Amino acid sequence: MSYPVPFNEPERLTELERLRSAEWGFSAALDRLCSLATRQLKVPIALVSLVGDKEQNFAGRQGVDMLKTSRDVSFCAHAIMTPQPFVVENATEDSRFCENVFVTGDPGIRAYAGVPLATRADLRIGAFCAIDVKPRRFTADELALLGELGGIATAIIEFEHMKLQLDDALEEAGEMQEDLREHALALESSNKELAEFAQTLSHDLKAPIRTIRTYLPDILENARTGELATALEDYRLVLKSATHMDQLVDTLREYCKVRYEKAPVTDLPMNVVVEDAVGILKPAIEERAAVISWGELPTVKGNGPQLILLMQNLIGNALKFSAEPPRISITAASRGADAVFCVKDNGIGIKADYLEQIFEPFQRLHAASRYAGAGLGLAICRKIVERHQGRIWCESAVGQGSMFHFTLPAAQ
Ligand code: ADP
């Protein structure tokens, strides 16, 4: 090692690292400062050198093209040793520099004057220097000017560093603001959806309550007057309404669960999911003598209970809105990283105008008296698929049966 090392070298290098910008070329301002120094001190070369562990990097330059040199041939490595200006009047007569490659070779340094760049923490990270290619003296005024320019160079380096930090902070603040805006929008739309949901729900719950309210006094009156047959008929209506309310509350619970509960994801063979859903629907399948077929289905990344509920709702609807006997097939294909499934039935079909609407909560195309249901089944299906980053859609025509397609992420 042929250069002196300051006593506080580790702290000095940490300070340099703190101020390091993505590139060493800080700003055109440092180059301009060097240009000013060459004119005022009448020298061909001026440099702002940052002295690192093994190299010096030129953050500002005038008169040389190099961006860095090794530290052991650096004059500035000597200038950082003292707070005073470091001066060499004739390098060829100085044992420390007479064999230096920049003295014996290009650019042929003869005279050097450098002042340390001392940061606010009073650590010398480099030097501001003026270099001549012929031996010369530097006057006290010239060295004082060099000192001033060195002070300005340090201030520019600190300023550029602060500017970078400020830019980063501003960028971060901008991203946070954008995140907040997105959250606020999501919250607003979720609140709106919830309000609409609550309104429709209260409307749907009121219908059976109204029926019960209307018929209960009649039942009592008929029972009192001995018209038991009429009382029994009314009682059946009340029971039906209560059952409907019960179903509505159950479906609602399912909907809320899908929407708000955490759903851990594992690799799931869809054959097993379909078998489970078909098992749950066994009584309805047997009652309708339905034929349900599926082949080899892929394994997906998903939440077991949610995917069973999804298949249960789709197969359940296919059974409910089907011809006699219901024929339902479940197929799958691969599309990029996804698996695309299709549940096809031979049922009553859906008018093209309603193919989107059916996925909204409480949307029913038929009177509840004809086909029972809360109108939440497909809304649940859509929530489940969306929570799996998938998409669900329907292709159908009246009297032509329906095909419900949905995508799920395929397991690797
Ligand atoms: P519901 O509880 O009424 O079944 P869904 O949300 O499951 O509610 O379905 C919404 C509406 O979409 C149904 O009322 C029905 O009109 C229509 N629909 C759903 N599946 C089918 C299907 N496979 N064939 C024909 N119509 C369907």
CB 218 within 8 A of CB 211: no
* The length of the chain, given as a count of residues: 412
> How many CB atoms neighbour CB 173 within 10 A?
10
Cα gap 390→370, rounded to integer Å: 32
Q: 129 and 49 in contact (C-beta within 8 Å)?
A: yes
pLDDT at 151: 94
Cβ-proximal residues to 190 (8 Å cutoff; 6+ apart), any chain: none
Identify how many contiguous H helices and E strands the chain contains and give both numbers. 10, 13
Residue 51's Cα: distance from chain center in Å?
A: 40
What's the 375 CA to ligand 1 centre distance in angstroms? 7
pLDDT at 25 (0 to 100): 53
199 vs 341, which has greater pLDDT?
A: 341
Crossing angle of helices 140-225/228-260, nearest 10°? 170
CA dihedral 189, 195, 201, 205 (to 10 degrees): 170
Token pair 């509350």 in the structure block, residue: 249
Pick the range with the lowest mean pLDDT from 88-97, 254-263, 391-400. Answer: 254-263
CA atoms of 396 and 73, how far apart (whole Å): 81
Asked if residue 345 has its Cβ within 6 Å of ligand 1, the reply is yes
- What is the per-residue pLDDT across 105-150, written as a single tens digit (0 to 9) for each? 999 999 999 999 999 888 999 999 999 999 999 999 999 999 999 9
Q: How far apart are CA 209 and CA 357, in angstroms?
A: 27
Q: Which amino acid is at 259?
A: R
Q: Please compute the mean of the pLDDT values over residues 177-198 and round it to a whole number.
A: 86
Element (H, E) at 66: none
Q: What per-residue confidence (pLDDT) applies to 366? A: 66
Count of CB atoms situated within 10 Å of the CB of 233: 14
pLDDT at 21: 64
pLDDT of residue 231: 87
**pLDDT at residue 330 above 70?**
yes
Ligand 1 binding pocket includes 321 (Cβ within 6 Å): yes
CA 198 → CA 163, 206, 213, distances in Å? 51, 12, 22
Q: What average pLDDT does the structure give for the chain?
A: 90
Given a cut of 70, whether residue 370 has pLDDT beyond it is no
Q: What is the pLDDT of residue 162?
A: 85
The residue behind tokens 């395929």 is: 410
Give the up-direction half-sphere exposure of residue 240: CA atoms within 13 A in the CB hemisphere: 13
Q: Of ligand 1's atoms, which has the minimum distance to the CA of residue 363? A: 10
Rounded Cα distance, 114 and 112, in Å: 7
Least confident piece of the model among 135-149, 181-195, 273-287 = 181-195
pLDDT of residue 374: 67
- Facing residues of 268 across strands? 300
Q: Using the predicted structure, report yes or no on whether residue 395 has a pLDDT greater than 90.
A: yes
Confidence of residue 316 (pLDDT cuts 50, 70, 90): very high
CA distance 24 to 177: 32
Position 193 pLDDT exceeds 60: yes
Distance of alpha carbon 340 from alpha carbon 331, whole angstroms? 8
Percentage helix, strand, coil, to 5, in the chain? 50, 20, 30
Residue 264 has pLDDT above 60, yes or no: yes
Q: Which residue's CA is minimally distant from atom 19 of ligand 1? A: 317
Q: Where are the beta strands (DSSP E) in 183-281?
A: 266-269
102 burial type by CB count under 10 A (0-12 exposed, 13-18 middle, 19+ buried): buried
Residue 363, ligand 1, Cβ within 6 A: yes
Which tens digit of pLDDT belongs to each residue from 31-76? 999 999 999 999 999 999 999 999 999 999 999 999 999 999 999 9
How many CB atoms are closer than 10 A to CB 357? 13
**Minimum mean pLDDT range among 52-56, 198-202, 271-275, 354-358:** 198-202
pLDDT(24) > 60: no
Q: Is 252 in the pocket of ligand 1 (CB under 6 A)?
A: no
Task: From the CA of 380, give the closest atom in ligand 1.
Answer: 6
C-beta of 317 in contact with ligand 1 (< 6 A): yes
Q: Tell me: pLDDT of 372 over 70.
A: no
- Assess whether the C-beta atom of 318 lies below 6 angstroms from ligand 1: yes
Report the percent of the chain where pLDDT is more than 70.
95
Give the Å distance between the CA of 376 and the centre of ligand 1.
Answer: 9
pTM for this entry: 0.57
Cβ–Cβ under 8 Å, residues 405 and 392: yes
Tell me the C-alpha distance between 230 and 218, whole Å.
9
Find out whether the beta carbon of 377 lies less than 6 Å from any atom of ligand 1.
yes
Q: Whose CA is nearest to atom 16 of ligand 1?
A: 365
* β pairing state of 124-132 and 392-396: unpaired
